[in-house]
Structure 1
Amino acid sequence: MQLSTGNSVWSRCFMAVTLAVAAAAVVVVDAADAVAESNVRLYLGNWAGYVVRGDVHEVSATWVQPEIDCRDPGILQRVVPWVGLNGAQGLDGRVALPLMQTGVESLCASDAAVYAALPGLQVENLAAGMAYADPRIAGTVMNAGAKLADALGAAADGLCSIGVFGGFCSPDKQVDGWWEGYPEPPVSYDDVEVHPGDVMRSVVRWDGGNYLMTLEDRTAKWSRTTAAASPTPPHTAEVVVEGHLDAALPGFDPIVFTDISIDGRPLSDYDAQMYGIPATNRLLAPGPVDGASFTIR
């Protein structure tokens, strides 16, 4: 089964459920038991990784695209490493938009999982249209849509486990490189392919009037750059893995982000905020920053 990308409800909502992070990021917990470093504050949402607040202009990172293990056939499961500018709360307390990002989505999707998720995804799609008017309300609505999708997905997964849906529960693995200027829908690079084990590199830069987003597959030796005009400067930078809030995550190989650079400086030079995903099957949080790298297991 193939899911369409581009301007569909699916692609808009599930490749970057961004305002869910904006709403959930106000929940802060002591992450001492979840990460190797004690006395760390962890912001919960649908991102796992690090966010830097401030007036930045360029962010970049390298990683190896992981292999995923589809364990819950009735639930849409995704692992999405990406690099971006904007999308989180800036120093002024407002959500910085537009979120300009590029990365790779690895997805587990059966027919049963897709049909179960669609009602919630339609709610999330409506929320994306509220992003500029009121990001907090948009985040609340988007979280409601996510909870609906998760509840129906859990029900579908239970029926799949007892064989009710038969072949409709067979998950397909899909891997897509993409870029996005949220709240506009994401766009896939359909003319190229990404495979598990490929060395990927993302760079997002604002030149004063345009956001330039480059996704490079160093293993397959291709690169794609997209320019999106915007006079709005960036106020946050992200290097994260995205999943779906409160849903099960697939199994996946550890993701090691390396060569992280923000305005030419390593991540360790910044007071970066740690984000984690409270999935139903585990809490996904990044390890400590080591210079220009960190690992998500």
Structure 2
Amino acid sequence: MDPHLLRTYVTVARLASFSEAARVLGYTQSAVSQHIAALEGDLGLPLLTRRPVAPTPAGERLLEHAGSLLLRLDAARADLARFAAAPRETLTLVASPLALPPRTLAALPASGVTLRTLPRDEVPAAVATGAADLGFVDGAVAPSDPLRLPDVAPLTARKVAEEPLAVVLPAGHPLAGRAGLDLADLVDARWLDAPDAGIPLDRLRAAHGGPAGHGFRAALRFEGTEPRTVAALAAAGHGLALLPLSAAHGTPGAALVPLAAPRLVHRVETLHAGGEPVGPAVELVRRLTTRPGGGR
């Protein structure tokens, strides 16, 4: 299967237009039509209806494979390109919004750094395809467990930090004085749905182990990337939130009650492609993965 033809197909299916795909890809419309015909001929199946332009059932199934196939090819190209690349003095970093605890920020070089925030699931792909030298990704896991990352390419992950998780609620909430809270007691509570700036609700449902889609209903959805805003919304009574302690500490009007059960911590890992980081990333990874006192 020719990856150039596959890219053309994905673009046409995404835009639902041969002419728009031609404009985006820099081809003529005739070339796009030839690409689609060649791919359909190779597979022996119609992949798109023409009026309207939409994937056939076989085309839908191909789309399920296409993203990971093309990402793997991009990652392989980026990995091989590193052998010929000259050492760089600048550093490009990508991070999920909760993956930048104060210790990480303090360790960044004083200059030559570009830092972008991305949704959690996009960080590994950005590192694998060479869009970033290092990635920082976070999640809620059992103590000392590694994060479960998408299998986009061979990546090296190292722990940067682990810290407790806390339920954030208004200071006057009936549960605010508890020493700890169990997720099982909060299944029917109203929650903030903040997938990029808090621990996602589907992670809470999975940790609780109840029926799929059960409980942890959203009272308000926040589509930003600032955890401090999530903590402020929880303090104002718009729903509970689960955040790392450092992300919510000092929020006016908020009570932070440690999560007692299930046993979960907030873990941050750094990601890089290849066996060892290169350039300025070497020193940054060393600082972040070496504990005070010299041990790892």
**TM value normalised by structure 2:** 0.23
Please tell me whether Structure 1 or Structure 2 has the larger radius of gyration of its CA atoms.
2
**TM value normalised by structure 1:** 0.23
